[in-house]
Protein backbone atom coordinates (compact mmCIF):
# COMPACT_ATOMS: atom_id res chain seq x y z
CA UNK A 1 0.00 0.00 0.00
CA UNK A 2 1.16 3.50 -0.81
CA UNK A 3 1.21 6.05 2.03
CA UNK A 4 -1.35 8.30 0.36
CA UNK A 5 -3.85 5.42 0.21
CA UNK A 6 -3.64 5.41 3.98
CA UNK A 7 -3.74 9.16 4.62
CA UNK A 8 -3.89 12.14 2.34
CA UNK A 9 -4.83 15.79 2.68
CA UNK A 10 -8.39 16.58 1.59
CA UNK A 11 -10.50 19.74 1.91
CA UNK A 12 -12.09 18.50 5.16
CA UNK A 13 -8.72 17.47 6.66
CA UNK A 14 -6.52 14.36 6.75
CA UNK A 15 -8.44 11.58 5.00
CA UNK A 16 -7.91 7.80 5.05
CA UNK A 17 -9.28 6.46 1.73
CA UNK A 18 -8.70 2.80 2.73
CA UNK A 19 -10.72 3.11 5.94
CA UNK A 20 -13.00 5.98 4.84
CA UNK A 21 -12.44 8.22 7.85
CA UNK A 22 -10.91 11.60 8.65
CA UNK A 23 -8.59 12.66 11.45
CA UNK A 24 -9.58 15.97 13.09
CA UNK A 25 -11.70 17.13 10.14
CA UNK A 26 -12.47 20.84 9.96
CA UNK A 27 -15.98 20.29 8.58
CA UNK A 28 -18.68 17.71 9.30
CA UNK A 29 -17.93 14.20 7.94
CA UNK A 30 -19.47 10.72 8.27
CA UNK A 31 -16.62 9.28 10.41
CA UNK A 32 -14.09 11.28 12.38
CA UNK A 33 -11.19 10.30 14.62
CA UNK A 34 -10.43 13.14 17.02
CA UNK A 35 -7.03 13.62 18.65
CA UNK A 36 -8.05 16.15 21.31
CA UNK A 37 -10.68 18.64 22.36
CA UNK A 38 -9.22 21.93 21.09
CA UNK A 39 -11.83 23.60 18.94
CA UNK A 40 -9.75 23.59 15.74
CA UNK A 41 -9.42 19.79 15.95
CA UNK A 42 -12.68 18.74 17.60
CA UNK A 43 -15.73 20.13 15.87
CA UNK A 44 -19.40 19.34 16.28
CA UNK A 45 -21.61 17.78 13.63
CA UNK A 46 -19.83 14.55 12.61
CA UNK A 47 -21.71 11.27 12.08
CA UNK A 48 -19.54 8.83 14.07
CA UNK A 49 -16.73 9.99 16.36
CA UNK A 50 -13.91 7.85 17.72
CA UNK A 51 -11.74 9.47 20.43
CA UNK A 52 -10.54 8.91 23.99
CA UNK A 53 -13.23 8.97 26.68
CA UNK A 54 -11.90 12.31 27.93
CA UNK A 55 -11.92 13.93 24.49
CA UNK A 56 -15.54 12.77 24.00
CA UNK A 57 -16.46 14.21 27.42
CA UNK A 58 -14.73 17.50 26.62
CA UNK A 59 -16.59 17.73 23.29
CA UNK A 60 -19.86 17.16 25.13
CA UNK A 61 -19.01 19.88 27.68
CA UNK A 62 -18.23 22.32 24.87
CA UNK A 63 -20.87 21.44 22.26
CA UNK A 64 -23.67 19.73 24.18
CA UNK A 65 -24.87 16.15 24.35
CA UNK A 66 -25.78 15.82 20.67
CA UNK A 67 -22.41 16.97 19.27
CA UNK A 68 -22.29 13.91 16.96
CA UNK A 69 -24.39 10.99 15.73
CA UNK A 70 -22.65 8.09 17.47
CA UNK A 71 -19.51 7.96 19.57
CA UNK A 72 -16.97 5.33 20.54
CA UNK A 73 -14.28 5.64 23.20
CA UNK A 74 -10.78 4.41 22.36
CA UNK A 75 -8.45 3.32 25.15
CA UNK A 76 -4.75 4.11 24.75
CA UNK A 77 -3.03 1.24 22.97
CA UNK A 78 -6.27 -0.47 21.91
CA UNK A 79 -6.21 -1.64 18.28
CA UNK A 80 -9.43 -0.86 16.46
CA UNK A 81 -10.30 -2.14 12.98
CA UNK A 82 -12.00 0.28 10.59
CA UNK A 83 -12.72 -1.43 7.24
CA UNK A 84 -9.41 -3.31 7.30
CA UNK A 85 -7.35 -0.37 8.59
CA UNK A 86 -6.06 -0.67 12.16
CA UNK A 87 -6.07 2.52 14.21
CA UNK A 88 -4.71 3.05 17.71
CA UNK A 89 -4.52 6.02 20.05
CA UNK A 90 -1.40 6.92 22.07
CA UNK A 91 -0.61 9.69 24.60
CA UNK A 92 0.38 12.98 22.95
CA UNK A 93 1.05 14.99 26.13
CA UNK A 94 -0.84 18.00 24.79
CA UNK A 95 -4.04 18.32 26.87
CA UNK A 96 -5.88 15.83 29.13
CA UNK A 97 -5.83 12.43 27.36
CA UNK A 98 -4.93 13.98 24.01
CA UNK A 99 -3.85 11.40 21.46
CA UNK A 100 -1.59 10.78 18.55
CA UNK A 101 -3.21 8.31 16.20
CA UNK A 102 -1.38 5.49 14.42
CA UNK A 103 -2.96 4.20 11.21
CA UNK A 104 -1.79 0.83 9.85
CA UNK A 105 -2.62 -1.30 6.83
CA UNK A 106 -0.68 -3.51 4.43
CA UNK A 107 2.45 -3.42 6.60
CA UNK A 108 2.62 0.38 6.58
CA UNK A 109 2.23 2.58 9.68
CA UNK A 110 1.48 6.27 9.56
CA UNK A 111 1.50 8.28 12.73
CA UNK A 112 -0.24 11.55 13.34
CA UNK A 113 1.09 13.06 16.55
CA UNK A 114 -0.80 16.26 15.68
CA UNK A 115 -0.43 18.64 18.58
CA UNK A 116 2.00 17.24 21.04
CA UNK A 117 4.34 18.31 23.76
CA UNK A 118 7.28 16.73 25.51
CA UNK A 119 8.45 17.47 29.02
CA UNK A 120 6.79 17.08 32.40
CA UNK A 121 3.24 18.22 32.98
CA UNK A 122 1.16 16.75 35.81
CA UNK A 123 -2.15 17.50 34.03
CA UNK A 124 -1.66 14.89 31.31
CA UNK A 125 0.04 11.63 30.43
CA UNK A 126 3.46 12.16 28.89
CA UNK A 127 4.00 11.93 25.16
CA UNK A 128 5.13 8.47 24.08
CA UNK A 129 7.10 7.99 20.90
CA UNK A 130 5.27 5.54 18.63
CA UNK A 131 7.43 4.13 15.83
CA UNK A 132 5.98 4.60 12.36
CA UNK A 133 7.08 4.75 8.76
CA UNK A 134 5.67 8.19 8.15
CA UNK A 135 5.35 10.95 10.70
CA UNK A 136 2.68 13.58 10.36
CA UNK A 137 3.38 16.62 12.48
CA UNK A 138 2.35 20.25 12.83
CA UNK A 139 5.04 22.92 13.02
CA UNK A 140 3.32 25.43 15.25
CA UNK A 141 6.64 26.61 16.69
CA UNK A 142 8.68 25.35 13.77
CA UNK A 143 11.41 27.95 13.75
CA UNK A 144 14.79 27.65 15.49
CA UNK A 145 14.05 30.84 17.52
CA UNK A 146 11.38 28.99 19.50
CA UNK A 147 12.93 27.64 22.69
CA UNK A 148 10.44 27.26 25.49
CA UNK A 149 11.94 27.93 28.92
CA UNK A 150 11.30 25.83 32.03
CA UNK A 151 7.56 26.33 32.90
CA UNK A 152 8.18 26.63 36.65
CA UNK A 153 10.70 29.42 36.07
CA UNK A 154 8.12 31.27 33.96
CA UNK A 155 5.48 30.85 36.65
CA UNK A 156 8.04 32.14 39.16
CA UNK A 157 7.82 35.50 37.35
CA UNK A 158 4.16 35.74 38.27
CA UNK A 159 4.89 34.91 41.90
CA UNK A 160 7.62 37.57 41.97
CA UNK A 161 5.20 40.11 40.53
CA UNK A 162 2.62 39.23 43.20
CA UNK A 163 5.21 40.02 45.86
CA UNK A 164 6.29 43.24 44.15
CA UNK A 165 2.76 44.51 43.49
CA UNK A 166 0.62 43.15 46.31
CA UNK A 167 -2.14 45.69 45.58
CA UNK A 168 -2.66 44.70 41.97
CA UNK A 169 -5.05 42.03 40.71
CA UNK A 170 -3.02 39.66 38.56
CA UNK A 171 -5.06 38.58 35.56
CA UNK A 172 -3.57 35.51 33.96
CA UNK A 173 -4.75 34.78 30.43
CA UNK A 174 -4.79 31.12 29.46
CA UNK A 175 -6.85 29.23 26.89
CA UNK A 176 -9.78 27.50 28.53
CA UNK A 177 -8.96 23.87 27.63
CA UNK A 178 -5.65 22.57 28.90
CA UNK A 179 -3.63 25.73 29.41
CA UNK A 180 -5.85 27.18 32.14
CA UNK A 181 -5.77 23.96 34.16
CA UNK A 182 -2.06 23.60 33.55
CA UNK A 183 -1.18 27.09 34.82
CA UNK A 184 -3.33 26.58 37.92
CA UNK A 185 -1.59 23.26 38.60
CA UNK A 186 1.79 24.93 37.98
CA UNK A 187 0.94 27.66 40.52
CA UNK A 188 0.18 24.92 43.07
CA UNK A 189 3.42 23.10 42.25
CA UNK A 190 5.27 26.38 42.83
CA UNK A 191 3.79 26.50 46.34
CA UNK A 192 0.96 28.99 45.71
CA UNK A 193 -1.91 27.81 47.91
CA UNK A 194 -4.16 30.89 48.07
CA UNK A 195 -7.52 30.71 46.27
CA UNK A 196 -7.31 31.08 42.49
CA UNK A 197 -10.24 32.97 40.95
CA UNK A 198 -11.52 31.77 37.60
CA UNK A 199 -13.60 33.35 34.85
CA UNK A 200 -17.03 31.67 34.52
CA UNK A 201 -16.17 30.17 31.12
CA UNK A 202 -13.47 27.99 32.72
CA UNK A 203 -15.62 26.47 35.44
CA UNK A 204 -16.91 23.34 33.70
CA UNK A 205 -13.57 22.34 32.21
CA UNK A 206 -11.77 22.93 35.53
CA UNK A 207 -14.42 20.82 37.28
CA UNK A 208 -13.90 18.11 34.68
CA UNK A 209 -10.12 18.07 35.19
CA UNK A 210 -10.68 17.80 38.94
CA UNK A 211 -13.11 14.90 38.36
CA UNK A 212 -10.34 13.15 36.40
CA UNK A 213 -7.95 13.40 39.34
CA UNK A 214 -6.09 16.65 38.59
CA UNK A 215 -6.01 18.59 41.87
CA UNK A 216 -6.34 22.33 41.18
CA UNK A 217 -6.65 23.46 44.81
CA UNK A 218 -9.06 26.16 46.00
CA UNK A 219 -10.86 27.57 42.94
CA UNK A 220 -13.42 30.35 43.28
CA UNK A 221 -15.53 32.27 40.78
CA UNK A 222 -14.12 35.68 39.83
CA UNK A 223 -17.50 37.37 40.11
CA UNK A 224 -17.46 41.09 40.66
CA UNK A 225 -21.19 41.71 40.69
CA UNK A 226 -21.56 40.99 44.37
CA UNK A 227 -18.40 42.51 45.67
CA UNK A 228 -15.98 45.33 45.48
CA UNK A 229 -13.07 45.25 42.97
CA UNK A 230 -10.69 45.65 45.88
CA UNK A 231 -11.77 42.15 46.98
CA UNK A 232 -9.38 40.86 44.33
CA UNK A 233 -6.41 42.93 45.47
CA UNK A 234 -3.29 40.81 45.14
CA UNK A 235 -5.29 37.88 43.80
CA UNK A 236 -4.64 35.65 40.80
CA UNK A 237 -7.55 35.58 38.35
CA UNK A 238 -7.35 33.11 35.47
CA UNK A 239 -9.46 33.67 32.39
CA UNK A 240 -9.45 33.19 28.62
CA UNK A 241 -7.42 35.93 26.89
CA UNK A 242 -10.56 37.16 25.10
CA UNK A 243 -12.12 38.14 28.44
CA UNK A 244 -9.19 40.42 29.25
CA UNK A 245 -9.85 42.60 26.24
CA UNK A 246 -13.27 43.68 27.50
CA UNK A 247 -14.72 45.62 30.38
CA UNK A 248 -14.68 42.60 32.67
CA UNK A 249 -10.92 42.97 33.17
CA UNK A 250 -10.89 46.70 33.78
CA UNK A 251 -13.14 46.37 36.79
CA UNK A 252 -10.46 44.67 38.83
CA UNK A 253 -8.13 46.57 41.11
CA UNK A 254 -5.16 47.97 39.09
CA UNK A 255 -5.23 44.91 36.81
CA UNK A 256 -1.89 43.50 35.71
CA UNK A 257 -2.30 41.42 32.57
CA UNK A 258 -0.20 38.27 32.24
CA UNK A 259 -0.58 35.74 29.43
CA UNK A 260 0.69 32.16 29.28
CA UNK A 261 1.42 31.13 25.70
CA UNK A 262 4.24 29.90 23.52
CA UNK A 263 3.66 33.02 21.42
CA UNK A 264 4.87 35.18 24.28
CA UNK A 265 8.36 34.47 22.91
CA UNK A 266 7.41 37.06 20.31
CA UNK A 267 7.69 40.44 22.02
CA UNK A 268 5.49 42.09 19.42
CA UNK A 269 2.58 39.74 20.19
CA UNK A 270 2.77 40.53 23.88
CA UNK A 271 2.84 44.26 23.17
CA UNK A 272 -0.09 44.14 20.77
CA UNK A 273 -2.16 42.25 23.31
CA UNK A 274 -1.41 44.75 26.07
CA UNK A 275 0.34 42.02 28.06
CA UNK A 276 2.43 43.42 30.86
CA UNK A 277 3.80 40.08 32.01
CA UNK A 278 4.34 37.56 29.18
CA UNK A 279 4.87 33.97 30.34
CA UNK A 280 6.28 31.55 27.76
CA UNK A 281 4.31 28.43 28.67
CA UNK A 282 3.31 26.30 25.71
CA UNK A 283 1.42 23.09 25.10
CA UNK A 284 3.34 22.53 21.87
CA UNK A 285 6.81 21.33 21.06
CA UNK A 286 9.39 24.01 20.60
CA UNK A 287 11.98 23.72 17.83
CA UNK A 288 14.44 21.48 19.75
CA UNK A 289 11.59 19.13 20.76
CA UNK A 290 10.16 18.98 17.24
CA UNK A 291 13.48 18.08 15.73
CA UNK A 292 14.32 15.67 18.57
CA UNK A 293 11.01 13.86 17.93
CA UNK A 294 11.83 13.42 14.25
CA UNK A 295 15.36 12.26 15.00
CA UNK A 296 14.08 9.77 17.55
CA UNK A 297 11.37 8.33 15.28
CA UNK A 298 13.67 8.22 12.23
CA UNK A 299 10.72 7.92 9.82
CA UNK A 300 10.92 7.24 6.10
CA UNK A 301 9.14 10.52 5.46
CA UNK A 302 7.77 13.48 7.42
CA UNK A 303 4.56 15.26 6.46
CA UNK A 304 4.12 18.68 7.98
CA UNK A 305 0.45 19.62 8.36
CA UNK A 306 0.42 23.32 9.26
CA UNK A 307 2.34 26.04 11.02
CA UNK A 308 5.83 27.08 9.94
CA UNK A 309 6.11 24.23 7.50
CA UNK A 310 8.95 25.43 5.31
CA UNK A 311 11.61 25.66 8.01
CA UNK A 312 10.86 22.18 9.33
CA UNK A 313 10.76 20.66 5.86
CA UNK A 314 14.14 22.27 5.14
CA UNK A 315 15.59 20.95 8.43
CA UNK A 316 14.38 17.43 7.55
CA UNK A 317 16.00 17.64 4.12
CA UNK A 318 19.30 18.71 5.68
CA UNK A 319 18.99 15.82 8.16
CA UNK A 320 18.46 13.41 5.27
CA UNK A 321 14.77 12.74 6.03
CA UNK A 322 12.40 13.29 3.09
CA UNK A 323 9.66 15.74 4.05
CA UNK A 324 6.80 17.60 2.48
CA UNK A 325 4.30 20.22 3.58
CA UNK A 326 0.61 19.23 3.42
CA UNK A 327 -0.69 22.81 3.77
CA UNK A 328 -3.73 21.77 5.78
CA UNK A 329 -5.94 24.74 6.50
CA UNK A 330 -8.25 25.49 9.40
CA UNK A 331 -5.89 24.69 12.27
CA UNK A 332 -5.09 27.72 14.37
CA UNK A 333 -4.43 26.01 17.59
CA UNK A 334 -6.49 27.48 20.41
CA UNK A 335 -4.15 25.95 22.95
CA UNK A 336 -0.75 27.31 22.04
ZN1 LIG B 1 -4.36 21.56 20.46
- Residue-wise pLDDT tens digits, 194-252: 999 999 999 999 999 999 999 999 999 998 666 677 789 999 999 998 888 777 888 88
Is residue 113 over pLDDT 90?
Answer: no
- 229 CA to middle of ligand 1, Å? 34
- 332 CA to middle of ligand 1, Å? 9
Q: Please give the pLDDT value at position 225.
A: 67
Percent of the chain with pLDDT over 70: 97
The model's pTM: 0.93
- Mean pLDDT of all residues in 105-134: 84
Q: Please give the pLDDT value at position 162.
A: 98
- 284 CA to middle of ligand 1, Å? 8
Is residue 315 over pLDDT 80?
Answer: yes
Among the ranges given (109-113, 180-184, 190-194, 234-238), the one the predictor scored with the smallest mean pLDDT:
109-113
- 114 CA to middle of ligand 1, Å? 8
Is residue 272 over pLDDT 90?
Answer: no
- 330 CA to middle of ligand 1, Å? 12
Note whether 67 and 47 are within 8 A (CB): no
Q: Please give the pLDDT value at position 333.
A: 63
User: Counting Cβ atoms within 10 Å, is residue 28 exposed (0-12), middle (13-18) or buried (19+)?
Assistant: middle
Q: Please give the pLDDT value at position 262.
A: 93
Q: Tell me the pLDDT tens digit for each residue of 31-56.
A: 999 999 999 999 999 999 999 999 99
- 322 CA to middle of ligand 1, Å? 26
State the pLDDT confidence band at 165, using cuts at 50, 70 and 90.
very high
Q: Please give the pLDDT value at position 336.
A: 73
- 94 CA to middle of ligand 1, Å? 7
Is residue 72 over pLDDT 90?
Answer: yes
- Mean pLDDT of all residues in 298-307: 91
State the pLDDT confidence band at 335, using cuts at 50, 70 and 90.
low
State the pLDDT confidence band at 328, using cuts at 50, 70 and 90.
confident
- 227 CA to middle of ligand 1, Å? 36
- 291 CA to middle of ligand 1, Å? 19
Instruction: Measure the CA–CA gap between 220 and 215, rounded to whole angstroms.
Output: 14
Q: Tell me the pLDDT tens digit for each residue of 83-98.
A: 999 999 999 989 999 9
Averaged confidence pLDDT in the chain? 92
- 115 CA to middle of ligand 1, Å? 5
| Closest C-alpha to 285, from 154, 170, 116 | 116
Render 217-279 in DSSP notation, one character per residue: -SEEE---SSS-GGGGTT-EEEE-HHHHTSHHHHTSSS-EEEEE-GGGGSHHHHHHTT-SEEE
Amino acid sequence: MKPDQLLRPAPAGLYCPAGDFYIDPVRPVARALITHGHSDHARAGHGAVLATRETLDIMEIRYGEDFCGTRQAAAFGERIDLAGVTVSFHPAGHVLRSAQIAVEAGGLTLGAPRDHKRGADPTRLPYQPVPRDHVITPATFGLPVFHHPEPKAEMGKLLTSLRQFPERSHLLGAYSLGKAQRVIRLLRDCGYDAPVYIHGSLARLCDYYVSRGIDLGDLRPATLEKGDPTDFRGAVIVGPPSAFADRWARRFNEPLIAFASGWMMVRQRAKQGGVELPLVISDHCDWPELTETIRELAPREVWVTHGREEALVRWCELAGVPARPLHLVGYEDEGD
